[in-house]
Amino acid sequence: MQMMKFYLIMINLLTFALFVLDKWLSRRRRVKYRIPENRLLLASAIGGSVGALLAMQVTRHKTRNVKFKLGIPLILLAQGAVIAFAARQLVD
């Protein structure tokens, strides 16, 4: 259980940092490299959805993009369902 908590904290911090970095890169118009949207979504899907939502609100980044505006909350709901299911299996 401790390892899972550590993983979730780290992946959410990493995802938050990726979103903040991408926002920073987007503001620097001369920068050619940006973090691909698929990578941001992947980081969210593997456990970083809370970090993604926080970063979206703090930086106002990707908030108009439907893929993120709807996708990240749906990923969070799916992750919550998986956690609830797993917790229930442990209790039964």
pLDDT string in tens for the chain (92-residue length): 789 899 999 999 999 999 999 999 999 877 788 999 999 999 999 999 999 999 999 999 999 999 999 999 999 999 999 989 988 988 87
Q: What angle do CA 68, 72, 75 make, to 5 degrees?
A: 140
Coil vs helix vs strand at 69: helix
**Per 3-state DSSP, what percentage of the chain is helix, strand, and coil (rounded to 5)?**
80, 0, 20
Per-residue confidence (pLDDT) for residue 30, from 0 to 100: 75
* pLDDT the model gives residue 62: 95
Do 11 and 47 touch, CB atoms closer than 8 A? yes
**Average of per-residue pLDDT values in the chain:** 94
In this predicted structure, what is the pLDDT of residue 90?
83
44-60: pLDDT as tens digits: 999 999 999 999 999 99
Separation CA 86–CA 90 (nearest Å) = 6
Q: Give me the domain span that covers residue 68.
A: 2-91
If one counts the domains in the chain, the total is 1
